[in-house]
Amino acid sequence: MDLEQLWHLTLGEIEIQLSRANFATWLKNSRLVDKKDGTFYVALPNNFAKEWVENKYQKNLLGIVRTFDDSARKLEFLVANGEVGAPPAKKAAGADFNKLDRIDFEFKTDPETNLNPRYTLKSFVVGSSNELAYAAASAVIKDIGTKYNPFFIYGGVGLGKTHLVQAIGNEIRARHQNKVRPKYVPSERFTSDIVWGIRNKRMEDMKRKYRDVDVLIIDDIQFIGGKEKTEEEFFHTFNALYENNKQIIISSDRPPQSIPTLEERLRSRFEGGLIVDIGYPEYEMRVAIIKGKLQEADRRLDEAVIDVVARRVKKNVRELEGVLNKIIFYQEKKQVEVTAKVAEEIIDKAIQNSARRVTDSQILKAVAEFFNITMADLASHNRRKEVVEPRQVAMYLLRDMLELSYPSVGEKMGRDHTTAIHSFEKINQEINKNSSLGQKILLIKDAIYKS
């Protein structure tokens, strides 16, 4: 196994254990750049990430790396742009090592379109949960920029949104060569480009970058909700493209009307296009996905093992892939014969790992302790400021760390879902403009992880 593969598997494991936000913030842009005498060198984009990962995830990461390569003795972290002592890895890793902070998680991304060739229509398994989305995607490919504009696709985590929207881009690219130019961008990247453009007085460059395309694909649009400047710029970009019959493709984890802070004018733009959702894959489809992945990787597994995996892992195709990787790893590297029973055990362990994640009572306790109030205060209807803010923070963290739905967040706090939405948005906005609350929240999270 090469370093890239090893790290890919490691991230796949730890991703299941962390909240989405934590994973994206701290580990998404990491890379394993070298190993030498049992020391594995991990590059991170900046000092802040380095310190954080070193303190928080070192042990866990080493544990995972070891399951794949038992020569691993320790991990060393370094900053990719070389701020921190020059590592022996530098030579080995070559030139792109310095560009790490600009590299996305996927490796062979085309720098011009940001598309990853791994995502194709051919490898996308279609079943009743996504056939409408697939049909709509095919229609968009045939009729770029006219009938189905914008194309808005939504659904839960790990259900294939990124795969499908990138596949549309790749397919368009393949059919029209360089005549039609798609560009893929995660909405966080769009936001950071806007911020960069404003700060460096280079907004014109940014405008050109996003308006000078034929198909703009924005992934996970929910993250721009509430970021005013970004929404403003996106609105103008949207209009400019739309008026010129350029195709806009958007993905989100929820429908437009459920992105609470999304500006009304954007929402109504989205609702003017074609909106489709992707649901959970049914059993037959899960089997087909597993078989597809096995074929891609040129591997074979017993039907009974495939059945176990398909029965047990239901709600997230990414997790399904994680379990498959693990099974293949046991089979090949550890030479374990994976029977249905062994597969069950592997899955049990994976589930336990993710269950060892944070619980709601840990969150509530940490918030109460941090603000020096009681748990009863948190759930009470007391409107004193000393209690209101912690309560909102608690709801924010329940949503952020546990990915609970708003109704369940509300339920845990004896509130309705609109209060939960309001609290989440309020704190989210505060964090964006007031770093002291952001700092406090980091400290609370820290306490939760230590508990």
Does the protein bind ligand ADP through residue 161 (CB under 6 A)?
yes
Q: By CB under 5 A, name the binding residues for Mg ion.
A: 161-162
Residue with smaller CB distance to Mg ion, 162 or 362: 162
| Structure-block tokens of residue 64 | 């995972």
Does the protein bind ligand ADP through residue 125 (CB under 6 A)?
yes
Of 309, 317, 323, 358, which one interacts with ligand ADP (CB under 6 A)?
317
Cβ atoms of 436 and 404 within 8 Å: the answer is no
| 3-state class (DSSP) for residue 112 | coil
Sheet of 39-44: strand order equals 31-36, 39-44, 74-79
Give the per-residue contact string, 274-313, with ligand ADP (x = CB under 6 A; - = no): ---------------x--x---------------------
Residue with smaller CB distance to ligand ADP, 30 or 362: 30
- Least distance (Å) between residue 36 CB and ligand ADP: 31
The vertex-116 CA angle with 111 and 121, nearest 5°, equals 140
Chain position whose Cβ is nearest to ligand ADP: 160
Report the partner that residue 39 touches, choosing among ligand ADP, Mg ion, none (CB closer than 5 to 8 A by kind): none
Phi-psi region of 335 (alpha: psi -120 to 50; beta: other; left: phi over 0): left
d(CA 136, CA 133): 5
d(CA 115, CA 183): 7
Does the protein bind ligand ADP through residue 158 (CB under 6 A)?
yes
Report the partner that residue 115 touches, choosing among Mg ion, ligand ADP, none (CB closer than 5 to 8 A by kind): none
- Least distance (Å) between residue 427 CB and ligand ADP: 24
Q: Tell me the H-state helices in 372-434.
A: 375-379, 385-402, 406-412, 417-433
Does the protein bind ligand ADP through residue 318 (CB under 6 A)?
yes
Q: Which one of 123-131, 177-185, 340-348, 420-428 is the stretch in contact with ligand ADP (CB under 6 A)? A: 123-131
Does the protein bind ligand ADP through residue 321 (CB under 6 A)?
yes
| Structure-block tokens of residue 109 | 């991304």
Does the protein bind ligand ADP through residue 336 (CB under 6 A)?
no
Chain position whose Cβ is nearest to Mg ion: 162
- Least distance (Å) between residue 123 CB and ligand ADP: 6
> Which amino acid would we find at residue 413?
M
Does the protein bind ligand ADP through residue 114 (CB under 6 A)?
no
Does the protein bind ligand ADP through residue 157 (CB under 6 A)?
yes
- Least distance (Å) between residue 161 CB and ligand ADP: 3
Cα radius of gyration rounded to whole Å, the chain: 23
| 3-state class (DSSP) for residue 362 | helix
Q: What is the 3-state secondary structure (H, E, C) of 203-223?
A: HHHHHHHHHCCCEEEEECHHH
How far is CA 364 from its chain centroid? 25
d(CA 24, CA 22): 5
> Pairing between strand 31-36 and 39-44?
antiparallel
Residue with smaller CB distance to ligand ADP, 81 or 123: 123
Cβ atoms of 246 and 127 within 8 Å: the answer is no
Q: Which one of 37-45, 121-129, 349-357, 372-380 is the stretch in contact with ligand ADP (CB under 6 A)? A: 121-129
Does the protein bind ligand ADP through residue 326 (CB under 6 A)?
no
Beta-ladder partners of 278 = 155
Does the protein bind ligand ADP through residue 206 (CB under 6 A)?
no
Of 87, 160, 256, 410, which one interacts with ligand ADP (CB under 6 A)?
160
Exposure of 320 in the CB half-sphere (CA atoms within 13 A): 31
Which 8-state DSSP code applies to residue 183? E
- Least distance (Å) between residue 314 CB and Mg ion: 18
Does the protein bind ligand ADP through residue 445 (CB under 6 A)?
no
The number of beta carbons lying within 10 Å of the beta carbon of residue 113 is 21
Cβ atoms of 399 and 420 within 8 Å: the answer is yes
- Least distance (Å) between residue 162 CB and Mg ion: 3
Does the protein bind ligand ADP through residue 237 (CB under 6 A)?
no
Report the partner that residue 321 touches, choosing among ligand ADP, Mg ion, none (CB closer than 5 to 8 A by kind): ligand ADP
Does the protein bind ligand ADP through residue 1 (CB under 6 A)?
no
Sheet of 247-252: strand order equals 182-186, 215-219, 247-252, 151-155, 274-278
Residue with smaller CB distance to Mg ion, 6 or 217: 217
- Least distance (Å) between residue 258 CB and Mg ion: 17
Note the residues at the interface with ligand ADP (CB under 6 A): 123-125, 130, 155, 157-163, 289, 292, 317-318, 321
